[in-house]
Amino acid sequence: MNRTLAQWAGQARWRGAWGWLWLVALTGCRGEQSMLNTHSPTAQAIEGLWWWMFYGAAAVLVVVMSLAFYAIYRQPERRGAISATKFVLAGGVLLPVAALTPLLVFGLGVGYRAYLIDPEALTVDVIAHRFWWEVRYPGASPGDTLVTANELRIPAGQQVRVRLHSEDVIHSFWVPSLAGKLDVIPGRVNQLQLQAQTPGIFRGQCAEFCGALHAHMEFYVIALEPEQFQRWRQRQARGGRAPEREALKQGQQAFMAQGCGDCHRIRGSEAQGSGGPDLTHVASRYSLGLGRTGRITVDDFENWIVSKEHLLQPQAEMPAYDQLAPEELRSIALYLESLQ
């Protein structure tokens, strides 16, 4: 992976889990899409819940299995005398009631706080498509709405209200480091409160099976310092940069000639399609489909358009443009790469 996430190193909180410790160590629990590496109060509360339940469950398992082995292998003469009724009542009724009542009360409290929605918070609309995420920051007027794709930039330390919409089937919005998942259901608008305590990049993924390329429906939540976020927002609000260099102008022409603008929008140009992702600032994004992340290069754009090694299947709406002449392809890629 071409990325450093140094800011995480200091925060990875380790809590021992003897049974699984070696496994965790083996794989390096630094995962960027992990509910055990949390960066919001909600996710941390749920992680805490997990560790309580993990130790409790481990204890119950050990006790039950020990009793079973004792009951089988201890010589009958030496076994302690039990009253069957008391034994069954203690293990089958008292134990679960005593253990689960506090868990339920505590767990429901966690759930209640997680669902509190602050109506004043910054609001972002996320629209799930097969197989990508459209992200809209509503402005003062509809024309000011800022549109991007597959990444959700938020100011760190602040509450963000995410409204979830689906254009087609059911999806599920999940960024485990920040919050539990919430389904994205056609005909309904579900709301999720999102907060990242510190700046960072958090991977998310569609969690409800949505068809052919469900596995590729990932996205990133990028938490920025609030000033940084404001700067990014202002930059994104501008229209797409008109090409100045000749090569880029050719690229733009080729882009229009190939009909890319029928599906994609580049604000400030004649490309005003709405079926596919908005490309106004595509080159400033953190990821470009199929796991490509970091600084996106001209080659990345080329590969994406023809999708040589990748899988733009019929079910994803964009066809593979593998008939383009090499120079035409290059110029479109150059143009896209200029859309910072």
Partner 1 sequence: MMGGEHPGQGAPEASRAEQLHRRFEKIWGTPPGLAQLSVVNHSNVSRRFIITGFVFFLLGGLQAMLLRTHLARPNNDFLDHEVYNQLFTMHGTTMMFLFAVPVLEGIAFYLLPKMIGSRDMLYPRLSAYGYWCYLFGGILLYSSFVVGSVPDAGWFMYVPLASSEYTPGLNSDFWLLGITFVEISAVSAGIELVATILKARAPGMGVNRMPLFAWYMLVTGFMIILGFPPLILGSILLELERAFGWPFFMVGQGGDPLLWQHLFWLFGHPEVYIIFLPAAGIVTMAVATFARHPVVGYSWVVLAVVATGFISFMIWVHHMYTVGLPQVAQGFFSAASMGVAIPSGIQVFVWIATLWLGRAQMRVPMLFLMGFLFIFVLGGLTGVMLALASFDWQVHDTHFVVAHLHYVLIGGMLFPFFAGLYYWLPLMSGREYSELFGRLAFWLLFIGFNITFLPMHLIGMLGMTRRTYTYPEGLGWEIINLISTVGGFLMAAGVAAFVMDLYLHYRFGQRATANGWGAGTLEWSLRHPAPSYNFISLPQIRDRYPLWQNPKLPQELAQGQGFLADPGRGERETLGTSMLDAKPEYVVRLPRNTYLPLLLALATALLFVGLLIKQYWLVPMAAVLMVAGVWCWLWDRGIKQAPLVVDAGQGLTLPLQYSHPRGPGWWAMGLSILADLSLYGSLLFGYLFLWTVAPAWPPPDFGALPWLVPSLGLGGLILSSVAMGWAGRQLRVGSLPRLRLGYGLAILLALAYGVSQVLLLRDAPYGPQQHAYGAILHALVGCHLLHVGLVVLMACFILARSAYGYVVSDKPMEVTNVSLFWHYVVLQCLVGYVALHLLPLLM
Question: Contacts with partner 1 in 309-328 (CB under 8 A)?
Answer: 311, 313
The mark string for 122-141 relative to partner 1 (x by CB under 8 A, - otherwise) is --------x-----------
Are the C-beta atoms of 165 and 126 separated by less than 8 Å? Answer: yes
**Cα dihedral 224→230→231→236 (10° resolution):** 100
Measured from the CB atom, the residue of 188 and 235 that comes closer to partner 1 is 188
- Contact between 181 and partner 1 by CB under 8 A: the answer reads yes
Residue among 190, 228, 236, 253 that touches partner 1 (CB under 8 A) = 190
In whole angstroms, the minimum distance from the beta carbon of 91 to partner 1 comes to 4
In whole angstroms, the minimum distance from the beta carbon of 281 to partner 1 comes to 25
**C-alpha closest to that of 85 among 75, 94, 96:** 94
The mark string for 194-233 relative to partner 1 (x by CB under 8 A, - otherwise) is ---------x-xxxxxxxxxxxx-----------------
> Which structure tokens are listed for 194?
């999102």
> Which structure tokens are listed for 94?
């008292």
H or E stretch including 103?
helix 95-114
> Which structure tokens are listed for 140?
């003062």
Residue among 149, 152, 179, 288 that touches partner 1 (CB under 8 A) = 179
**C-alpha closest to that of 216 among 283, 311, 285, 304:** 311
Residue among 172, 250, 280, 287 that touches partner 1 (CB under 8 A) = 172
- Contact between 295 and partner 1 by CB under 8 A: the answer reads no
With residues binned 3-state (H G I as helix, E B as strand, rest as coil), the percentages for the chain, rounded to 5, are: 40, 20, 40
Q: CA 209 to CA 47: how far, in whole Å? A: 24
In whole angstroms, the minimum distance from the beta carbon of 143 to partner 1 comes to 27
Q: How far is CA 275 from the centre of its chain?
A: 22
Segments of the chain assigned E as strands:
122-129, 132-137, 146-149, 151-155, 160-166, 171-174, 182-184, 190-194, 200-206, 218-224
Three-state SS at 134: strand
Task: Tell me, by CB under 8 A, how many residues bind partner 1.
Answer: 88
Residue among 7, 12, 15, 70 that touches partner 1 (CB under 8 A) = 70
In whole angstroms, the minimum distance from the beta carbon of 119 to partner 1 comes to 17
Strand order in the sheet with 160-166: 146-149, 132-137, 122-129, 160-166, 190-194
Question: Contacts with partner 1 in 26-65 (CB under 8 A)?
Answer: 26-36, 43, 45-46, 49-50, 53, 57, 60-61, 64-65
Non-local CB neighbours of 158 within 8 Å, separated by 6+ positions? 121, 122, 195, 226
Measured from the CB atom, the residue of 184 and 332 that comes closer to partner 1 is 184
Residue among 138, 183, 241, 253 that touches partner 1 (CB under 8 A) = 183
Question: Contacts with partner 1 in 241-260 (CB under 8 A)?
Answer: none
In whole angstroms, the minimum distance from the beta carbon of 126 to partner 1 comes to 14
- Contact between 104 and partner 1 by CB under 8 A: the answer reads yes
Residue among 107, 138, 226, 273 that touches partner 1 (CB under 8 A) = 107
- Contact between 168 and partner 1 by CB under 8 A: the answer reads yes
- Contact between 97 and partner 1 by CB under 8 A: the answer reads yes
Residue among 12, 67, 98, 242 that touches partner 1 (CB under 8 A) = 67
